[in-house]
Amino acid sequence: MFDVKKIRKDFKILNREIWDDKLLVYLDNAATTQKPNCVIDSIVNYYENYNANIHRGVHKLAEEATVAYENVREKVSRFINASDEDAVIFTRNATESMNLLAFCLGESLKEGDEVIISEMEHHANIIPWYLLRDRKKITIKFIPITEKYELDYEALEKLITKKTKIVSITQKSNVLGTVNDIKKISKLAKTVNAIVIVDAAQSAPHMKIDFSNLGADFIAFSSHKMCGPTGIGVLVGKKELLEKMPPYMGGGEMIRKVTFEDFTCNDVPWKFEAGTPNIADVIAFGVALDYLENIGIENIYEYEKELTLYALDKMKQFEFLKIYNSRAASCEQGSGNSSSQDAGRGSGIGLITFSNPVVHPHDIATIVDQYGVAIRAGHHCAQPLMKKLGVSSTCRASFYFYNTKEEIDIFINVLKKALEYFEIGACKTLKTVLPK
């Protein structure tokens, strides 16, 4: 049975009072999640009991640390149903994983080759390709989004050409909540033998991923968005492609042999893990994965769906609140025949992005913070998408399995107070400034 009250006891920070008298209501989970006690205890246990560098020592502490670290590859592989744990690479975050791919895969591209991304991408899946464009003179194309905040798959079919070498796409938008149909995208990309990369930073924490069945070549996500520590990212790929790629950084562990003339690379995955890694936090990430699997990722999805629909219904009372959410948009405009409905069953779940035409998002976030409610305000590292939406920034409330309907009620009440603070509660005067 999913027992949120019991789960909340695993997170000490949820009992913290903000501004001395307001209990924390943490709704910024898309930025980073809180950590259960077992994850924190794991980090302390490593440093107190078997702190040692890995792979290099024959003493007992080094062997214990190495085994604990390497065991996490198998846990990651099982969590996303990847076929080969040796193809699991640890990085600092999903951003580094995407940069690694852009740099290493980019070495084989030539002027005029094409990389396709979408209008809903995080900067981490835009800037690395811009850097590659400047270095290699490649072409970058953007898949447009529809009025329902979904990918335009018909446009994608036209964008793909024989020059398309890479299609890199978010599985779930950190702004819109849209879950993209990776299987459909992969099928289209493979008609021209393009490599498919999936940014799963926002999907892996909330929904079941079957990497072996997606048709993609690489997938990346971050520990800190799924109850694990910061400073740990994951890159999983097809081993045969990883073996062909040049290394990303040089140094210890990524080499097999070094002479005064040259060097040879280590095997995958160590080929891409130069230097001493973040040992303690990789081990703690393994504990976080165990914790999530114990709760059940499907249970997490179903509970978050309930929370999100509850919040969306409550937010209907705000007449001049613009909501940018794929599920809400689909409900308003009709279900249609979107390709993302089946593969994207989690679309719009877990986060709600919104704005008011008069009140700046930072002002809203500041006011609700005075009541202990933490939400995000800004462009969410998606400035091109903000431009597409016609705004410079928005607010975002994002949920995780330890949140409650009672917390959503608090959020709705303080949001109302924030709008009323700027004399927009009744919204009467707003009609004079809105376009007809």
Q: Which of 331, 381, 395, 427 is catalytic?
A: 381
Q: Both 304 and 394 in a single domain?
A: yes
Query: Is 172 strand, coil or helix?
Result: strand
Count of Cβ atoms closer than 10 Å to residue 243 Cβ: 13
381 tagged catalytic = yes
Domain with residue 74: its CATH number is 3.40.640.10
Contact 51, 61 (CB under 8 A): yes
Q: Both 312 and 285 in a single domain?
A: no
Is residue 35 a part of any domain in this protein? Answer: no
Largest Cα span, the chain: 77
The predicted structure's pLDDT at residue 333: 59
pTM score? 0.94
Domain count, the chain: 2
436 residues of the chain, pLDDT tens digit each? 789 999 999 999 999 999 888 999 999 999 999 999 999 999 999 999 999 999 988 999 999 999 999 999 999 999 999 999 999 999 999 999 999 999 999 999 999 999 999 999 999 999 999 999 999 999 999 999 999 999 999 999 999 999 999 999 999 999 999 999 999 999 999 999 999 999 999 999 999 999 999 999 999 999 999 999 999 999 999 999 999 999 999 999 999 999 999 999 999 999 999 999 999 999 999 999 999 999 999 999 999 999 999 999 999 999 889 999 999 877 765 544 444 443 456 799 999 999 999 899 999 999 999 999 999 999 999 999 999 999 999 999 999 999 999 999 999 999 999 998 886 554 544 454 444 4
The predicted structure's pLDDT at residue 435: 45
The predicted structure's pLDDT at residue 436: 43
Q: Both 271 and 388 in a single domain?
A: no
The predicted structure's pLDDT at residue 338: 41
Contacts of 414 (CB under 8 A, 6+ apart): 367, 368, 371, 373
The predicted structure's pLDDT at residue 345: 63
Contact 279, 65 (CB under 8 A): yes
Domain end point (choices 251, 266, 291): 291
The predicted structure's pLDDT at residue 334: 53
Q: Both 316 and 354 in a single domain?
A: yes
Q: Omega before 269 cis (within 30°)?
A: yes
Is residue 223 a part of any domain in this protein? Answer: yes
Q: Both 274 and 346 in a single domain?
A: no
